[in-house]
Each structure stands twice: as structure tokens, then as C-alpha cells.
């Protein structure tokens, strides 16, 4: 079916994208002839399934200006949502996504993503080695991404109440009884407890270590005000004074400071939980070359600088960081000299056991 | 002209088809999933009873019991508050009846999430209650168990689900024939006696339906406990949601959901059996 006949058949006011979404939702797309899908593949546009930060209007305008690529963003707000939509037929709707490193193996094994050609990513030379060579972006010898952005989940604290904090001990300190918040997510919280116990590789813990972690977290429960689910909730807790020290995302810091709360942000000396994200092609995209072009662009110093200034997230490109003033680098919440402290979030050896241990902690 | 058998059947076919597509098929899918397993991030269609065995462990039995306990608190509290409201609306109010009924359902026009967040503002340490109590000098320190506790979860669920109890109860109470009440009074029954031996038994179907309408959604609640609950407020809804989200354990989640449904069906069967009007009908 040609594009013209499709337009004729469409109810007025509905875009082709709208129709595609509708068809995907109803499962019809699976039955559509391949030629129909081809009709959408001619232009220089990319259906970009991403976090809201990376698809903001200034990024769309930048891609158009520098590469002539039309980004058409659709947003997800959690990695689960990304996975669920891709599994539910979303692979037919999108050309690329921005996964976090620990979702690469599951997404690759479930046949949701496509590898990139390493030769197309010429800007890789500027990327910090621990990101460029990270095994987490490689499955069965194939490369699924080179991260352009990174950061860490760490401790946010109310300086007025706690003074300076530098250790995970603050989260276990009876002084702050009832004023501590942790994240309601096993892969953050079990890992923190493991680091506190001095376990160096939390994500490959065995049953014996998991039991110790469980014991520690249960003994900590009387000190904890709440386990937060959404980042907005921990921000509220810190803003309203419900808690004074919390395991948190960096994203809460700037708004809290704007609201006049004197919050500190620190990667505890025992370790912080690192994350990084890359452009990754979606399985079956007809525009792999264009995705690779864009992926390489996100690794460039220009993109890194643009991103840091617009979003306050840290670029993975050394060359990009070199372009930033020292004060801004400090603002990014990254600690270049202490990258060694990061433990990159990974798939736990026994993921369902981790979930169960976390439920046992919560039910205790 | 009488409609032919074929016409009648085809009229019946549409709702049947609807039920099959939107109820029977999804349900069967869940039953099937609950006997499968996940391996290497894919769902594998191997028959196994492991999911159900897992539910029998102390962790999940404990969470189910907790969930039932909180749902009972919510139901009883809703009944204690909702019954007088329904009674008042049905039997005492003459003017502004429609307006008052509208006020009962008004909270339903606000999103569930907004109503849950509103309780944070009310119950928090900086919230209305704590700040007022401190202002008048009744307490020195904010009461911390108001928020992030079972108390907060129960109060919020009562607020969210009580309209569903008041409406059916109102409908039943309003239909009670006034001549029956007059007969009770003529025979010397006082206010309390009339209420206990006549009105209350006659309103049992309304109580049963209303309580079910509160108990069932409370059993499945997960957003409210996650937002307002403390470190111990885990309910089974959160665990089910977890299986379909971060855990990617659809088979185990399906098994949990089916057990939850079993509990709910049993409760419904029980209430409908014992919720028949007693005495005069």
C-alpha cells in the first residue's frame, strides 16, 4: 500500500504515527504487510523511544540543525516501562532507545535490540575507558552501545541537620532514627547494604551474603522513615524535613537547592551505584545507519557539552568535560577522581532471589 | 411479530463475545501463565507447580494475611462511618438530598493519586494535623506514626473507597417501606429496638454489597500502601505489580493474582449468602 492510499484511508486528523500506534496497540501491525512498514522508512527521521531529558525540544532542534535528522521522541519514565512496551510490540514502532547498562543483556536475549557497528562510532576515542570498554554493553561479542552519559545514585543529606556526610554509615546511624529514606528497589538497596558490609561485588553475592544483607536491612528498619518509589517522593521527604539523609538520585539536588534547602550530595567512600546510558538500535529498525550516525553524534564533544549545559547530566566524553568550567563540572555531581568508587548496576546473579529477599525485608 | 430464535441468539451473541474476549480469554491466559516459568528473560511454556509452591512459603502467606487484615480495618471503619451517613441521607434528609448525595460521590471526581498525595499534606510532620496540634500546645514533637504507617494507609483507603459503600447502602435503606417502621412503633418498639430488629436486618444486603465494594479494591491496593505505607506496609498488590514490572516474573505474578482472586471470590460468595435480608422481607 502506498503512502497516498494510506492517507486516503486515514480518518482526518490522525497521523500515520498515530495509526501505527493504534495498530500496534490492537496487535494489527503484526499482520500488516512488510511493504506498509517500508512506506515509513524513506525519510531522514528517527522514532526515538527515550527518557524525557534526551528528547526535549532543544535536543530535537539540535539534531535537525547539525545532522538534518528529525527526531520523533516518545517517552518512557522507567526501564520497566521501556521493556514492557518493547515486548508488547514496540519494536515495530521505534528505531532507537536509551537503555541503562543493566538492561542490555535482558533486552538482547529477548530479541528487542540490535547491535551497532563499532566502526561507525568514531567518537569512541574521547569516551572514558570504563564506559567505552564496559562489558555490560556487549552480549555474545556484539556491541549494543557506547554510553554518552553517566552518573551515580548516592546519598543526599540535609547539611543543616547532619553536617558533612561521607559514608554509608549515615544511613545506618541511630542518630537519624526515623529520618532516613531508602529506595524501594532491591538492586539499589541490597547493593548498598552489601557495600556497607564490605562486600566488593554486590551483584554476584551468594546466598550466605544475601542472608547477611537481609539481616542488616531488617536491623536498620526501625531507623527508616520510608522506602521511596518515585524520585519525586524522596525529593518531597527531603524538602518537608520528613527525612534528613536519603539514598537518592542526583535529580533531586538542583530543585531542592532552588527551594532553599541546603542539601549535600556525596558518593559514599564505600561506593556509589553507577549508571550509564547509550543510544541502542531497536530490533528490526530499517534505519540502522541513521541510528549509528546519531549514536556517534551523542558521543561527540559538542553533544556532551550541549547536554551538560542543558540537563546537568555528566557526559561520558573526556573531550566534552574538558570544555566545561570547573564549577559546572562540580555541579554535575560527578567525582572524576573517584570513578573507582562506582559499582555499576548489574543483573544480580539470581534476580528473583533478590526480589524475594527484598520482599522479606519489607515484610519483616 | 415475534422475533425469530435466530434474532434472539444473535442479540445474545454480542454480549457473550464481549465476555469471552475481555474476560474469559485474559483469565485463561493468566491461568496458563501461572503454570509456566521464566528462563533467560523469556517465558517458557513448561508445566510447573513451582509458582504455587512458592506462595505457600511463610513470606507470601504473611503478606496475604497482612493484606486481609488491613482490608478488614478499612471495611469496618468505612461501615462505621458510612452507615450513619447513608442512613441520614436515606431517611432523615428531605431538602438538598441530591446535593448531599453529590457531595458523597464528589471525591470520586478527583484522581486516586491526588487523593493519596493529599493525605501526605495532612498527615506529614509538616502537615495540617501535626502543625495545628503543636500550635495549640497539645504536643511538643510531631507525631511520626501519622504518615508512613498502616494508620495512614487505612485512613486513605477508607477515604478513597467509602463512597462505594454509602451508595448501595443508601439505595437499600431508602427502599425500606415506611409502613413497616410504623408497625414497629405501633407495636411498642422504641428507636433502638426498631433500628436493631427492623432496619438493620432489612439493610443487610446493602451492608454486604457495600462492604464487598470496599474490601475487594482494598485487597488489590498497591499505590496507596507504597506512597503512604511505612517500612512494613507491604501489601500483596505491590508484590503482584512487582512481578509484572521490575521482576519480569509474569508466571509467578499470575499465580499470586489467581490466589488473590480466589480469596476475593470466597469472600463475595460468603457475603452474598449471609447478606440476605433477615426477618420480614
pLDDT in tens, B158-173: 999 999 999 999 999 9
pLDDT given at position A179: 95
How far apart CA A213 and CA A209 sit, in angstroms, is: 6
Q: Using an 8 Å Cβ cutoff, are A38 and A47 in contact? A: no
* Chain B interface mutation, best of A27, A226, A238, A347, highest count of B Cβ atoms under 10 Å: A226
The pLDDT of B9-15, averaged and rounded, is: 82
Handedness of CA B49, B54, B55, B57 (dihedral sign): positive
pLDDT digit string (tens) for B18-58? 888 898 999 999 999 999 998 878 889 999 999 999 999 99
Task: Write b or e for each residue in A152-163: b if 16 or more Cβ atoms lie within 10 A of its Cβ, otherwise e.
Answer: bbbbbbbeeebe
Q: Does A6 have pLDDT greater than 50?
A: no
pLDDT digit string (tens) for A38-65? 445 457 999 999 998 899 999 999 999 9
pLDDT digit string (tens) for A304-319? 999 999 988 999 999 9
Interface check for B279 against chain A (CB to CB < 8 A): the answer is no
pLDDT given at position A35: 45
Q: Does A363 have pLDDT greater than 70?
A: yes
How far apart CA A328 and CA B12 sit, in angstroms, is: 69
How far apart CA B9 and CA A331 sit, in angstroms, is: 71
How far apart CA A311 and CA A34 sit, in angstroms, is: 39
Q: Does B87 have pLDDT greater than 70?
A: yes
In this prediction the ipTM stands at 0.84
The pTM of the whole model exceeds 0.90: no
Q: Is B198 helix (H, G, I), strand (E, B) or coil?
A: helix
pLDDT given at position A312: 85
Which residues is A272 bridged to in the sheet?
A: A342
CB-based contacts of B210, cutoff 8 Å, min separation 6: B78, B79, B82, B86, B164, B165, B166, B167, B168, B169
The pLDDT of A201-216, averaged and rounded, is: 96
CB pair distance less than 8 Å for A106 and B248? yes
The pLDDT of A272-290, averaged and rounded, is: 96
Where do the domains of chain B lie, and which CATH numbers do they carry?
52-274 (1.10.3720.10)
CATH architecture, domain defined by A151-274+340-363: 3-Layer(aba) Sandwich (3.40)
pLDDT given at position B274: 80
Q: Please state, as a whole number, how many other Cβ atoms lie within 10 Å of the Cβ of residue B179.
A: 9
How far apart CA A177 and CA A121 sit, in angstroms, is: 50
Please name the fold of domain A44-146+277-332.
D-Maltodextrin-Binding Protein; domain 2 (3.40.190)
Interface check for A140 against chain B (CB to CB < 8 A): the answer is no
Domain ranges of chain A: 1-42, 44-146+277-332, 151-274+340-363
CB pair distance less than 8 Å for B248 and A221? no
Mean pLDDT of all residues belonging to chain A? 88
Residues 34-73 (B) with a CB less than 8 A from some CB of A: 38, 40-42, 59, 62-63, 66
Q: Does A14 have pLDDT greater than 60?
A: no
Amino acid at each position: 500500500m502506498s503512502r497516498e492510499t494510506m492517507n486516503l484511508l486515514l480518518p482526518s486528523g490522525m497521523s500515520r504515527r498515530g495509526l501505527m500506534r493504534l495498530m500496534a496497540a490492537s496487535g494489527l501491525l503484526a499482520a500488516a504487510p512488510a511493504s506498509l512498514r517500508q512506506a515509513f522508512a524513506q525519510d531522514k527521521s528517527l522514532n526515538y523511544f527515550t527518557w524525557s531529558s534526551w528528547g526535549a525540544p532543544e535536543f530535537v532542534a539540535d539534531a535537525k540543525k547539525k545532522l538534518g535528522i528529525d527526531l520523533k521522541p516518545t517517552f518512557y519514565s522507567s526501564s520497566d516501562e521501556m521493556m514492557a512496551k518493547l515486548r508488547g510490540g514496540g519494536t515495530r514502532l521505534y528505531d532507537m532507545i536509551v537503555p541503562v547498562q543493566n538492561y542490555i543483556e535482558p533486552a538482547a536475549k529477548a530479541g528487542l535490540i540490535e547491535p551497532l557497528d563499532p566502526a561507525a562510532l568514531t567518537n569512541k576515542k574521547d569516551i572514558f575507558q570504563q564506559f567505552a570498554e564496559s562489558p555490560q554493553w556487549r552480549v555474545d561479542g556484539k556491541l549494543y552501545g557506547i554510553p554518552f552519559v553517566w552518573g551515580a545514585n548516592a546519598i543526599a543529606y540535609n547539611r543543616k541537620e547532619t553536617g558533612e556526610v561521607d559514608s554509608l554509615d549515615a544511613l545506618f546511624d541511630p542518630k537519624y532514627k526515623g529520618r532516613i529514606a531508602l529506595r524501594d528497589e532491591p538492586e539499589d538497596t541490597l547493593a548498598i547494604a552489601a557495600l556497607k558490609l564490605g562486600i566488593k561485588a554486590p551483584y554476584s553475592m551468594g546466598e550466605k551474603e544475601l542472608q547477611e544483607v537481609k539481616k542488616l536491612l531488617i536491623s536498620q528498619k526501625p531507623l527508616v522513615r520510608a522506602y521511596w518509589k518515585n524520585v519525586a517522593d524522596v525529593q518531597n521527604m527531603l524538602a518537608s524535613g520528613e527525612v534528613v539523609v536519603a539514598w537518592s538520585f542526583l535529580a533531586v539536588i538542583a530543585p531542592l537547592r532552588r527551594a532553599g534547602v541546603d542539601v549535600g550530595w556525596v558518593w559514599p567512600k564505600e561506593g556509589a551505584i553507577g549508571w550509564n546510558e547509550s543510544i541502542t538500535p531497536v530490533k528490526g529498525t530499517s534505519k540502522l545507519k541513521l541510528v549509528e550516525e546519531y549514536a556517534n553524534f551523542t558521543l561527540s564533544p559538542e553533544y556532551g557539552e550541549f547536554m551538560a549545559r542543558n540537563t546537568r547530566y555528566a557526559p561520558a566524553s573526556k573531550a566534552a568535560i574538558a570544555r566545561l568550567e570547573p564549577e559546572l563540572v562540580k555541579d554535575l555531581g560527578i567525582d572524576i577522581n573517584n570513578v573507582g568508587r562506582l559499582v555499576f548496576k548489574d543483573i544480580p546473579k539470581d534476580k528473583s532471589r533478590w526480589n524475594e529477599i527484598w520482599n522479606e525485608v519489607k515484610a519483616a | 411479530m415475534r422475533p425469530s430464535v435466530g434474532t434472539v441468539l444473535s442479540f445474545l451473541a454480542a454480549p457473550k463475545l464481549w465476555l469471552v474476549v475481555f474476560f474469559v480469554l485474559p483469565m485463561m491466559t493468566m491461568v496458563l501463565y501461572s503454570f509456566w516459568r521464566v528462563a533467560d528473560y523469556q517465558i517458557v511454556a513448561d508445566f510447573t507447580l513451582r509458582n504455587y509452591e512458592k506462595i505457600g512459603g511463610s513470606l507470601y502467606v504473611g503478606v496475604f494475611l497482612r493484606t486481609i487484615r488491613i482490608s478488614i480495618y478499612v471495611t469496618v471503619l468505612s461501615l462505621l462511618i458510612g452507615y450513619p451517613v447513608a442512613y441520614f441521607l436515606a431517611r432523615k434528609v428531605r431538602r438538598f438530598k441530591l446535593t448531599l448525595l453529590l457531595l458523597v460521590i464528589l471525591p470520586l471526581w478527583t484522581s486516586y493519586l491526588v487523593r493519596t498525595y493529599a493525605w501526605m499534606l495532612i498527615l506529614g510532620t509538616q502537615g495540617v494535623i501535626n502543625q495545628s496540634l503543636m500550635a495549640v500546645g497539645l504536643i511538643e514533637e510531631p507525631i511520626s506514626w501519622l504518615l508512613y504507617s498502616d494508620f495512614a494507609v487505612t485512613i486513605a483507603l477508607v477515604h478513597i473507597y467509602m463512597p462505594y459503600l454509602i451508595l448501595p447502602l443508601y439505595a437499600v435503606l431508602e427502599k425500606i417501606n415506611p409502613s413497616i417502621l410504623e408497625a414497629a412503633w405501633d407495636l411498642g418498639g422504641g428507636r433502638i429496638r426498631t433500628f436493631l430488629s427492623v432496619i438493620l436486618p432489612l439493610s443487610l444486603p446493602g451492608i454486604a454489597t457495600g462492604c464487598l465494594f470496599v474490601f475487594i479494591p482494598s485487597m488489590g491496593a498497591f499505590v496507596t500502601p507504597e506512597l503512604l505505607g511505612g517500612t512494613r506496609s507491604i501489601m500483596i498488590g505491590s508484590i503482584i505489580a512487582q512481578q509484572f514490572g521490575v521482576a519480569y516474573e509474569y508466571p509467578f505474578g499470575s499465580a499470586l493474582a489467581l490466589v488473590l482472586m480466589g480469596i476475593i471470590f470466597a469472600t463475595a460468595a460468603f457475603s452474598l449468602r449471609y447478606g440476605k435480608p433477615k426477618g420480614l422481607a
